[in-house]
Amino acid sequence: MRTLVTLQSFFIFTAFTASLAGQELASPQAVPDLSARNTAANAVAEAYRPVYASLQTSEEKRELARKLLQVGRAESKPAEKFVYYRSARNMAAKEGDLTTAFQVTDQMARDFAIDKVEMQAEVAEMTVVYWRHPDDFRRCSTLFEKLIDDAVLAKKYETAKRLTTLAMNCAREHQDETTFAKLSIKDRELAELAPLPKKALSRGQPATQKNAPAQEEVRSVLIKKSLQRQ
């Protein structure tokens, strides 16, 4: 409890100090270059070293992730803002807190020109590795459903298929046969949209062109279903 109180006081002060430097970015801007990110990361790591050292429980680390998100929102310097978000995202993911990790990527997409769908897919894949509680796997399909639909609407079919496979694994872990069956259907539909191997070429005509009408029909159905759930 004392650690959480100390964390809260520390981050209130840090967020207030950062807010004095300026307002939150109004629109997405380019991700700061690698050199700027590295410099900011070193400075943030050094400043927060005592805080990191004081953490003992998973809940304290989750709380830290949420506080880092708050500080990032108040920070005016782009490189530091990006580093706060990245640190919050990674810590939430490593503690299995997919909800907070998704909140961070949402905020990153508002402030920086990133591929939100792809980043959330990567965060999901990272987070599931650290899941241990049955309730995490139970909520998996609900958490992933919108993300899969977003990937379909963005025409990122391979990403959608990766996420569907991940959700299927969660359903299998939770022994949810109904959800697993539903996801299996979507997985087969997405497989029809995946690029075919070169050996599938027929008489010099790409197989993707040969199967274009069927692929377009599957694509239209998937997009329609995804829009209905938005």
Q: What is the pLDDT of residue 222?
A: 54
User: Mean pLDDT across the stretch 194-213?
Assistant: 46
Six-digit token string for 169: 């694994």
- pLDDT, tens digit (0-9, with 9 covering 90-100), for 20-72: 444 444 678 999 999 999 999 999 999 999 999 999 999 999 999 999 999 99
Instruction: Write out the H or E segment, with its range, that includes residue 190.
Output: helix 177-191
Instruction: Say which residues have a Cβ less than 8 Å from residue 202's Cβ, sequence separation at least 6.
Output: 210
Q: Which of 4-18, 24-38, 42-56, 118-132 has the lowest mean pLDDT?
A: 4-18
- The pTM for the full model equals 0.71
- 43 Cβ neighbours under 8 A, 6+ residues apart: 80
